[in-house]
């Protein structure tokens, strides 16, 4: 259930929704962080659900000392009215027994809010790629039937649709399936949106666990090529603003008193 931060519920009709899948390397979540921080998006509400691991923490996008006291939760919605853009940032994993219920919640909210299209930022284990997926870039996309009109645009950008792989490798190649190992709810949500005629695009990056900040910049740059959220930077510079919370992305460092 969406809970507004204001007295009235914001109108998302005609907006583009961007949300991450909690997947390998947290690439989608890091990318969402960059969008929210760079565009200085305003928090307009949160999703109240028992499907996610609950958390509470300080404002991850604070720029001044007075902004840190704002409480952040596991699933928050940010908005940019000029761009007609909304971002749902999901910060915690989906409970294993609640995956189907969470997908149903997302699809219901997306449909009732009137979003014109939804973009799911995700990732998948690089070491699970088959031979055909080793060619080209590490970026792949999927489109539901309700969003097929943008396929030509994505192909002009040089993007590759996610290949189906053999259901029985080494035995029979006649049956193909969609396989996204490490992708969290990506495959299920994509299938649900196909069934419910929801305009959804999946942007997916093959990656490995580790320092996935470069992967996040790669994914968000490709997204920007399509949606034009920001002007392209001059050579050698970056348009994306790293949030303050990333200072402790890998912990606070080794205490000097140990040596």
Write the pLDDT tens digit of every residue in 45-70.
Answer: 999 999 999 999 888 888 765 566 78
Asked if residue 82 is part of any domain, the answer here is yes
Cα 135 from chain centre:
24
What does pLDDT average to over the chain? 90
How far is residue 143's CA from residue 202's CA, in Å, rounded to a whole number?
6
For residue range 199-234, list pLDDT tens digits in order. 999 999 999 999 999 999 999 999 999 999 998 765
CATH number assigned to the domain comprising residue 126: 3.40.50.10900
Do the beta carbons of residue 19 and residue 58 sit within 8 Å?
Answer: no
Asked if residue 106 is part of any domain, the answer here is yes
Asked if residue 237 is part of any domain, the answer here is no
Cβ of 197: how many Cβ atoms within 10 Å? 12
pLDDT at 249 exceeding the cut of 80: no
Asked if residue 240 is part of any domain, the answer here is no
For residue range 112-145, list pLDDT tens digits in order. 999 999 999 999 999 998 888 888 899 999 999 9
Asked if residue 5 is part of any domain, the answer here is no
Question: What range does the domain containing 210 cover?
Answer: 10-230
pTM: 0.91
Give the angle 84-196-50 at the CA atoms, nearest 5°. Answer: 75
Asked if residue 57 is part of any domain, the answer here is yes
* Number of domains into which the chain is organized: 1
Strands 85-90 and 16-20: parallel
Nearest to 81 by CA among 10, 31, 19, 2: 10
């Amino acid at each position: 259930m969406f809970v507004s931060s204001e007295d009235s519920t914001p109108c998302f009709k005609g907006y583009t929704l961007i949300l991450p899948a909690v997947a390998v390397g947290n690439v989608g979540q890091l990318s969402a962080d960059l969008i929210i921080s760079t565009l200085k998006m305003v928090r307009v509400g949160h999703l109240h659900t028992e499907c996610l691991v609950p958390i509470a923490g300080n404002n991850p996008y604070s720029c001044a000392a007075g902004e840190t006291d704002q409480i952040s939760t596991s699933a928050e919605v940010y908005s940019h009215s000029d761009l007609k853009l909304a971002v749902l940032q999901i910060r915690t994993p989906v409970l294993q027994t609640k995956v189907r219920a969470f997908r149903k919640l997302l699809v219901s909210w997306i449909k009732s809010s009137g979003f014109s299209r939804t973009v799911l930022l995700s990732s998948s284990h690089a070491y699970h790629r088959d031979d055909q997926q080793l060619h080209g870039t590490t970026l792949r996309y999927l489109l539901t039937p309700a969003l097929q009109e943008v396929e030509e645009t994505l192909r002009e950008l040089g993007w590759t649709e996610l290949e189906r792989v053999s259901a029985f490798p080494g035995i029979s190649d006649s049956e193909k399936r969609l396989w996204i190992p490490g992708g969290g709810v990506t495959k299920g949500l994509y299938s649900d949106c196909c069934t419910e005629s929801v305009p959804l695009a999946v942007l997916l990056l093959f990656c490995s666990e580790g320092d996935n900040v470069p992967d996040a910049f790669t994914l968000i740059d490709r997204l920007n090529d399509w949606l034009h959220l920001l002007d392209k930077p001059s050579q050698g510079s970056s348009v994306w603003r790293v949030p303050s919370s990333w200072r402790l992305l890998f912990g606070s460092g080794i205490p000097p008193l140990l040596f």
